[in-house]
Chains A and B, each alone.
Chain A
């Protein structure tokens, strides 16, 4: 599904990722763990198309060259980034935003767009599953939401858009234990044969609830070690400094 070959990224001539390699197959859950400044957020930004990086190397998503696609085209193809810091968009109603987003993606795929009634039914169902306060859906997008609500809103968007590859950028940070479980339930509900996940995190905590197939340790822009779920536990014990 996703193939990253020798990806290097620089920002203002400062090297952030170096010869980064990763392959994610359909249905797999990969976790990337690493300390602050190791390049985790850069990776998620580059995959979702944020501007401002000089990149070399190759990223293929379902055999499409990712760098030839605009941000919105990547979303149309099924890439979703759950933001580390979801933005507040004043004046934009959450429901209107969700519907615009879903229908933009459906339209690009040549699928039938949802009308208001179909959409409301879907969004109500998903909000209920995620214990997301329905009243918030009629508010301005993320404005006045708590940190936890913003993160839940990301997962709500993810479950409505049903992407093929979901990238979760430190979705667990700032969540209390109940919210963490709800978020994990949301992800697990989406885990299917064809849906893959790239989970970026500092801590092993989230991985207790979302069991990854692979764990990778990212340091100084490179994967220095890969393994199964047990690697996360090892990291928790030893710390990043002593992992080699």
Chain B
């Protein structure tokens, strides 16, 4: 793999005329990735999901070079029709379109950056890989006091002929003071056996609101990793909801640094898994100042040989008094071979805090099934009703009504 990496990286440097700064940034990240390789179970964060093994057994040999000069056909793409939205279309890691057609043009700025001056230490190797190979570093700034009129949907698409490739995409967002963004990630895969690596940075200035809904519903054989790095100033709110379902493997990692007082982070998710799918949510909520709040709720419904992992970390620094941190996960295992792993981590250095965690897993309650069947529902209907009921309270955590209904429709939850 190392040889392939080197060939592909050199080809990339040759084909694109990067500035010295960008070239240096990419090279440094590339070297870091070569040194670290794909994450494996020796790393605590990856002990339930050995990505190195997962790539080997599902994809085999990966290639890393993508021809970004060629245009992708995007006019035939099936878009969400239920709600009006702005859109960014990414095909095989290349941003093909950025369209804020519902918004005031002077309130949104789109920049192309050249990579950071300094490289942060201790970031995971997939961020290095992303920095080395992603097409462009795009930054979107939402201006002060502006709330987008419609949500922004980012479509992550893959082409049919793309196979055994790694694609990388990165977008940075800055929400200025009191700005508000609803961001929906939709994944649609026409390809097989690829590794998609997605990296978002969010800077949330004072009193800004970010709502990010990630919807992985359509069935595909790809392997995905997504990393949200969120920095939050005072009174800002971040809400992340993940519907983790369709991909072969998907790990969503959310890092929230609560840097300003009265900032809050919400991470909620559903694992709705079948076959041998293996998904993970890893959160790091860092309470770094006084009076911050975090809330996490993850529910899983696991069929066949599927496997879900939830590693939720709440870190409370010694300054972060009056922290309110909560996390809960519940799983229904529908088969003897399905598996749920929860690893709650609470690392607390302040003494006046309210933090709790809980986790449960079990099978569907047969007595409840019998009760519903005795009222005329067949087994399938009874099971569906119970599962919908089980998932309802996490769906209710979605604060945007349109998205809530969209998710309900996707899951077939009726009211």
Contacts and interface: CB of A to CB of B under 8 A. Distances in A.
Interface stretch (A14-22, A79-87, A230-238): A79-87
A91 B393 contact: yes
B366 to A, nearest CB: 8
A168 to B, nearest CB: 13
Given A91-B388, A92-B388, A100-B381, A75 B375 contact: yes
Given A91-B389, A92-B386, A101 B415 contact: no
Contact of A161 (B368, B375, B379, B393): B375
Contacts of A92: 385-386, 388-389, 392
Greatest chain A CB density within 10 A among B367, B375, B385 is at B375
Contact of A91 (B372, B376, B391): B391
A70 B378 contact: yes
Nearest to B414: A96
A83 B388 contact: no
B409 interface: no
Tell which of B372, B378, B388 has the most Cβ of chain A within 10 Å: B372
Given A92-B385, A92-B389, A101 B373 contact: no
A90 interface: yes
A140 to B, nearest CB: 7
B373 A105 contact: no
B367 A49 contact: no
Contact of B374 (A49, A93, A102): A49
Interface residues of B, number: 25
A7 to B, nearest CB: 19
Given A50-B370, A87-B367, A96-B415, A72 B376 contact: yes
B74 interface: no
A161 B376 CA distance: 10
Contact of B386 (A51, A72, A89, A140): A89
A80 B390 CA distance: 26
Contact of B371 (A80, A87, A96): A87
A91 B389 CA distance: 4
Nearest to A86: B371
Given A89-B389, A91-B393, A96-B415, A104 B377 contact: yes
Nearest to B371: A87
Interface string B275-313: 000000000000000000000000000000000000000
Contacts of A76: 376
A50 B370 CA distance: 7
A89 B375 contact: no
Nearest to A107: B376
Nearest to A82: B374
A172 B379 CA distance: 29
A48 B374 contact: yes
A89 B371 contact: yes
Interface size bracket, A side: 20 to 34
A91 B390 contact: yes
A71 interface: yes
Given A89-B386, A92-B388, A100-B385, A70 B393 contact: no
A157 B378 CA distance: 17
A100 B393 CA distance: 20
A224 B375 CA distance: 32
Interface in B351-395: 365-368, 370-379, 381, 385-386, 388-393
A31 to B, nearest CB: 21
A69 to B, nearest CB: 11
Nearest to A103: B376
A140 B371 CA distance: 15
A90 B378 contact: no
B377 A101 contact: yes
Nearest to B366: A51
Contacts of B392: 90-92
A105 to B, nearest CB: 4
Given A71-B370, A86-B371, A87-B368, A100 B377 contact: yes
B368 A89 contact: yes
Given A86-B371, A97-B385, A75 B376 contact: yes
A182 to B, nearest CB: 21
A71 B385 CA distance: 17
Contacts of B388: 91-92
Interface in A140-198: 140, 157, 161
Contacts of A105: 375-376
Given A90-B389, A91-B393, A92-B389, A49 B415 contact: no
Nearest to A102: B376
Contacts of A80: 374
B374 A75 contact: yes
A51 B366 CA distance: 10
B374 A81 contact: yes
A91 B385 CA distance: 9
A97 to B, nearest CB: 7
Contacts of B414: 96
What 6 A-B pairs are tightest by C-beta distance, nearest first? A91-B389, A91-B392, A101-B375, A75-B376, A71-B373, A92-B389
Given A92-B392, A97-B385, A100-B377, 12 more contacts: A49-B370, A89-B385, A89-B389, A91-B390, A92-B389, A96-B415, A100-B385, A101-B372, A101-B377, A104-B375, A104-B381, A161-B375
17 contacts: A49-B370, A72-B373, A72-B376, A74-B374, A80-B374, A83-B371, A87-B365, A91-B390, A91-B393, A92-B388, A97-B375, A97-B385, A100-B381, A101-B375, A102-B376, A104-B378, A108-B376
Interface of B: 365-368, 370-379, 381, 385-386, 388-393, 414-415
Interface of A: 48-51, 70-72, 74-76, 80-81, 83, 86-87, 89-93, 96-97, 100-102, 104-105, 108, 140, 157, 161
